[in-house]
Structure 1
Amino acid sequence: MHLILRRIAGDVKQYRWAAAAFLIYYFVVRSVFHAFCPLLILTGFPCPGCGTTRAVICIFTGQFVRAWNLNPCAYLWVIFGAWFCCRRYIMGKSVRGMTKWLAVIAAAMFAVYLYRMATVFPGYPPMSFKRDNILNRLLPFYNDLLRHLFGI
């Protein structure tokens, strides 16, 4: 157990500045824009990852159907996270092949995103349009143009 904690502590120490930058981004963006996703904040459109964090939380709290509705790819992230933690921290082995699996998950997320944009957008969160976006603030006609072109 001591060895596992030492491996985790080593990674925390190595990536502490990236984690700090992420936390600063999170708190600033959430307090200013009341959202996290840069694409959503800028354009009002959800991104392929929208809903993933909420879906992972739902998986861990036993709300499996809700997790699937928020973002079905969250299950892939949970499986990947379990594999990564087991291999890296418990077994102490290299995580070779990680890039391949991340590419597979990214491709799956993009495919699911295209399907959901074609079939359920604009619908319920996370597949909804955020009218209070930066482009609308900079270009007042932006939302009207999108409403005219796409009916959103």
Structure 2
Amino acid sequence: MSDSKDLLRAPFELAYNYKRSSGPVMSEFFEALGQQKILGTKSRAGKVFSPAAEFDPETHESLKEMVEVGPGGSVESFSWIEAPQNHHLIKDPFAFALIKLDGADSSMLHMIADCNEADLSIGTRVTAAWSETSDKRITDIKFFTLEK
């Protein structure tokens, strides 16, 4: 094996530069985000998945019925980020959390900000804080904040 000084090195960043169609279900989900609404899809059994799912994970049936959920919900789990890195969208300490929105049976992964770690626990109530601009992306929900 050669010394590391003999190795050639070059910076490299892995990227997936492609565009894809969102399809009818996710397109409707993203359009609703642009109107500050969060949608889920409802299964034949009455379960609501949010973010919207195209297929029922149990029966594999196509899901088309859209229902509004949230904007509030409960924290199901979280991970506190004390020292955000450059790639994080939030520069102050925040949490990544699984949030079960009101009216949904599944959880959404998003961020909780404008609070301290001690403010959070399983079951804490949060609500969506919307971005000032609408890009029809998940980032239209800027983050979630503690319910007042």
TM norm structure 1:
0.25
Whose helix proportion is higher, 1 or 2?
Answer: 1
| Higher-strand-fraction structure | 2
